[in-house]
Amino acid sequence: DAKTTQPPSMDCAEGRAANLPCNHSTISGNEYVYWYRQIHSQGPQYIIHGLKNNETNEMASLIITEDRKSSTLILPHATLRDTAVYYCIVRAILTGGGNKLTFGTGTQLKVEL
């Protein structure tokens, strides 16, 4: 499974953009990058995913470098409710179908007033 590296923690002021980096230098050509977040004692919440191109949805934007060795999740206007652990994951395909998400320890984002 491709390994990901994220900073353990980041702070962001409310209303400002939060840019969360992730390195995945061993990613294969057909592996997707997924982002989830987990608020304390809840199940992980899907945010966004991408393969090569930049992606945007109602929650966030995902910027993937041209060589696909790193990516950045952008929360354009962070609020206090965005305080959570953010996981960057390279999805592996399981034998027989389906996919496996290998969660590391993620980045603890703290949004402050």
Contact footprint for another protein (CB under 8 A): 34, 41-46, 49, 87, 94-106
Calculated CA dihedral for residues 91, 63, 36, 111, nearest 10 degrees? 160
Cβ nearer to another protein, comparing 14 with 38: 38
Question: Within 10 Å of residue 24's Cβ, how many Cβ atoms?
Answer: 22
Q: Cβ closer to another protein: 13 or 39?
A: 39
Which CB sits closer to another protein, 3 or 77? 3
Structure tokens at 48: 């966004």
Minimal distance in Å, beta carbon 13 to another protein? Answer: 26
Q: Answer whether 1's CB lies under 8 Å from 88's CB.
A: no
Q: Smallest distance, Å, CB 72 to another protein?
A: 20
Residue with the two structure tokens 């703290």: 110
Least distance (Å) between residue 43 CB and another protein: 4
